Amino acid sequence: MSASLNTAAAATPATAADPACGEPLPVLGRDVTVPLVTGGEVTYAALDYAASAPALQRVWDDVAAYAPYYGSVHRGAGYLSQLSTDLFEQSRATVAEFLGCRPADQVVFTRSTTDSLNLLAAVLPAGCQVFVFETEHHASLLPWRDAEVTYLDAPRTPAQAVDTLERALAARDPYGPALVCVTGASNVTGELWPVKELAAAAHAHGARIVLDAAQLAPHHRVSVQELDVDWVAFSGHKLYAPFGSGVLAGRADWLQQAEPYLAGGGASRKVARRQDGGVDVDWHTTAARHEAGSPNVIGVYSIASACRALTEAGFEGLVAREQRLVAKVREGLAEVPAVRILSLFGDDAPRVGVISFVVDGWNSSHFAAALSAEYGIGVRDGLFCAHPLVRTLLGSEPQEPGECGAPEAAPGELSLNAIRVSFGAGTPDEHVDRFVGAVRELVASGAKWSYRTEDGRCVPAV
């Protein structure tokens, strides 16, 4: 029996984004108000999309419509179990289509981008060497603990990135299996990386490549086939589906040949006792091999819902609208002499809605705290889980201590941090206008309130 769920009546239509009218997609929490330390309330300006994007209203509606029908996946004869199983597997097909996967590719559901890349690290063939730029998020930089890793210096142009990779791959010894891990868009600068060219370089030297699309997929269409990458990883919580699921999609061979990422029910097809008292296990060769345990059905369904919503809205319009916001923020910040925007590839590099900067005379933690407490604007401060990159971009320039200290540095290092503003398909113009105005006002007039450090965070003094 095949079960199906019709959520059309409950779901919010995925209205196409029109760059002319500039309307954002509806997101959950868009009307939330927050108190200001100076008195009164204001609608919260969520400008930390690069950390976690708010849920699309469409996604929330789809999840709410499904929730009463929730059942165990692959484990029950009842109607709700069969419906949930169908929804789970349909979601896998939806994600494969969204990513432009090859027919033989597998889509494995995980907890996050970090989990996806740790899964890939666990299935590397013996002797595989890994090549990764120091510019990567820690999710891409750190999982390769059992492999020989070559960390490549930060390039200053896309062409230099390709050249650096080609030289490193050609010089590897022994000339065996290799994997390149690269981001599609920087979580610090927002700059787009030359993924297709890096994939061509990797393949020309007998290596494979995995794309960290955590910051790319929410902003641009991603096609595994067009980019010619071997795997792609991303998280639901950055794709307007913050329900605890992620994806690793791509070639099946390394996944099929390795031991399961987790051992347990769901990953095994058959378990039998041996005469010597042990057990023999026949593991699945499908994506289920690495999905042991009861899966996060709601998280998976929410990702599929977000994929459908973004596709129906149309990436062309979404990109055009976001680029208008990017230009507005960058031009506004450029008019404030004390602000320095961080960049690897320069002002003309294509980028998504992620911008990091520092302000002369301000500690970044203090500045971010004032944006929140006095203007109701949520940004991020720190090193953004990309410590080597931020330290490279900031060099040895010390931050002014201000009223609050920056995050602790390693012994002998200066304490460095920055401010990041990030936005996307759900961001209203008013939020970025308020942000630019707040930056100008804080730089010109200073904070209206005093602040102190509490548990490592800068907070208003009360």
Residues with a known catalytic role = 385
Which of 13, 31, 15 lies closest to 23, judged by CA?
Answer: 15
Strand partners, 283: 268
- Which residues have CB under 8 Å from 289's CB, separation 6+? 255, 256, 260, 267, 283
Q: How far apart are CA 46 and CA 217, in angstroms?
A: 19
Q: How far apart are CA 178 and CA 128, in angstroms?
A: 5
Which of 385, 384, 361, 380 lies closest to 447, judged by CA?
Answer: 361
On whether the CB atoms of residues 307 and 107 are closer than 8 A, the answer is no
Q: How far apart are CA 267 and CA 290, in angstroms?
A: 6
Where would I find the beta strands (DSSP E) of 231-283?
Answer: 231-235, 246-250, 268-273, 279-283
On whether the CB atoms of residues 461 and 374 are closer than 8 A, the answer is no
On whether the CB atoms of residues 357 and 190 are closer than 8 A, the answer is no
Q: How far apart are CA 311 and CA 346, in angstroms?
A: 30
Q: How far apart are CA 210 and CA 180, in angstroms?
A: 6
Q: Rg of the chain over CA atoms, in angstroms?
A: 23
Q: How far apart are CA 243 and CA 390, in angstroms?
A: 29
On whether the CB atoms of residues 32 and 86 are closer than 8 A, the answer is no
Q: Are strands 380-382 and 418-422 parallel, antiparallel or unpaired?
A: antiparallel
Q: How far apart are CA 374 and CA 366, in angstroms?
A: 12
Q: What residue spans of 335-424 are helical by DSSP H?
A: 364-375, 387-394
Where would I find the beta strands (DSSP E) of 119-264?
Answer: 129-133, 148-152, 178-183, 208-212, 231-235, 246-250
Tokens of 439: 């930056």
Which of 130, 121, 114 lies closest to 212, judged by CA?
Answer: 114
Q: How far apart are CA 431 and CA 437, in angstroms?
A: 10
